[in-house]
Chains A and B, each alone.
Chain A
Amino acid sequence: EVQLLESGGGLVQPGGSLRLSCAASELSFSDYAMNWVRQAPGKGLEWVSSISGSGSSTYYADSVKGRFTISRDNSKNTLSLQLNSLRAEDTAVYYCAKGLRLRGSYYYYMDVWGKGTTVTVSS
């Protein structure tokens, strides 16, 4: 069974940086697109970023474009999200989620989720 485990969250001051990681187990990692989704305290889900299986295509929400960078290391089954210039409104639980793949095609439905890692931006 595929499992995703996020790490790297914590308390950071406004303007600071963090690097989140997501380790995938038992998975042909490069066969799947991967995603980051966040949830601010008491709020709904917000898509943050996605990356194709090869890593050649990346996508970002306007709210994080230019500040966050998604990447992956398929040799280590690891997904990363570099968070720079953090703001109070980036405070959230960040989930790593695997994209669905059916009959050889990638889909950006998210069929496996990690438990999340919490990022708190505060002075």
Chain B
Amino acid sequence: DIQMTQSPSSVSASIGDRVTITCRASRGISTWLAWYQQKPGKAPNLLIYAASTLQSGVPSRFSGSGSGTDFTLTISSLQPEDLATYYCQQANSFPLTFGGGTKVAIK
């Protein structure tokens, strides 16, 4: 199975800050990676797929990069509505696996 490791597990930043979350796969997954945002009490929402493709309707301050084993999600200018937990997910092979999540808080 492919293990997905996210870091940090939590981050606190100010409005307007740049926030970067990393996700590492235990073996190469090319660009078969998605990022999801989950707000408290809500279902997850797809932000990015294929490592860097922005899902329709997602604000352009979100971006993704990486390939192989190392990936990043960047929020270029943190907004109050970005308070959420972010998860990566590999879609390279079954079993599909998620990272442990990164909780983003506003300072």
Chain A positions within 8 Å of B, measured between CB atoms, are 35, 37, 44-47, 50, 59-62, 95, 97, 100, 107-111, 113-116
Report B1-28 CB contacts with A as 1/0, cut-off 8 Å.
1000000000000000000000000000
> Which of A45, A100, A114, A116 sits near B49, CB closer than 8 Å?
A100
| Total contacts A-B at CB 8 Å | 59
Q: Which residues in A have their C-beta under 8 angstroms from that of B97?
A: 47
Cα-based distance from A97 to B49 in the complex (angstroms): 15
> Which of B50, B94, B96, B98 sits near A44, CB closer than 8 Å?
B98
Cα-based distance from A117 to B49 in the complex (angstroms): 25
The answer to whether the Cβ of B34 comes within 8 Å of any Cβ in the partner chain is yes
Instruction: Determine whether the beta carbon of A44 is less than 8 Å from that of B100.
Output: yes
Q: Which residues in B have their C-beta under 8 angstroms from that of A44?
A: 85, 87, 98-101
Which of A47, A95, A114, A115: most chain B CB closer than 10 A? A47
Given contacts A100-B49, A107-B49, A111-B55, contact A45 B95 (CB under 8 A): no
Cα-based distance from A49 to B36 in the complex (angstroms): 18
Cα-based distance from A68 to B73 in the complex (angstroms): 33
Which of A62, A97, A111: most chain B CB closer than 10 A? A111
Instruction: Determine whether the beta carbon of A110 is less than 8 Å from that of B94.
Output: no
Given contacts A44-B98, A46-B98, contact A107 B43 (CB under 8 A): no
Distance (whole angstroms) from the CB of A56 to the closest CB of chain B = 15
Chain B residues 17-47 with CB under 8 Å of chain A are 34, 36, 38, 43-46
